[in-house]
Amino acid sequence: MEIRNVRSSDYNVISPLINEWWDGRKMSDMLPKLFFVHFNNTSFIAEKDGEIVGFLIGFLSQSDTDVAYIHFVGVNPEYRKNQIGKQLYNEFFNVVKKNNRNVVHAVTSPVNKVSIAYHTKMGFHIDKGDKEVDGVSVFSDYDGKNQDRVLFVKRIV
């Protein structure tokens, strides 16, 4: 398997896969092409035999010079449990360190139990929100009305 930087042309391959990889959930609108054009130095593709099997879209905060943000991560369901996500995260963490950032943020929906478990396993902690949903601290209306979110933070050393 090879990990490489995202190219703008990868959008055309990944965009149709997103809803499929998320079991039909409509997620592709959350990842417009601009991420593939403007954040390719901090975003990565995992390929096996020329096929895209995973990706991580991340960036360095323009507002907080200590923070980086992971916006979207996906791994082909047929390749999960092969540590592809871990390799993508570690590649991003290396970029974070090289750019003298110490904090990585990520966000997910409280219904995404797999993401919550994965981020916790990867060493992220959950920020204290203003309410709990199914025992998980969330921020109410974070992404708009009735769009509660779980916020993750990880310190990079």
Distance between CA atoms of residues 14 and 70, nearest Å: 17
Domain ranges of the chain: 1-56+72-89
75-96 residue pLDDT tens: 999 999 899 999 999 999 999 9
Please tell me what DSSP assigns to residue 133. E
pLDDT digits (tens, 9 = 90+) for 41-70: 999 999 999 999 999 999 999 999 999 999
Mean pLDDT over residues 8-33, rounded? 90
Comparing CA positions, the residue from 10, 156, 22, 3 lying closest to residue 87 is: 3
**How confident is the model at residue 26, as a pLDDT?**
83
In this predicted structure, what is the pLDDT of residue 28?
A: 86
- Separation between Cα atoms, residue 149 and residue 123, nearest integer Å: 18
Given the candidates 3.20.20.70, 3.40.630.30, 3.40.50.300, 3.40.228.10, the CATH classification of the domain at 1-56+72-89 is 3.40.630.30
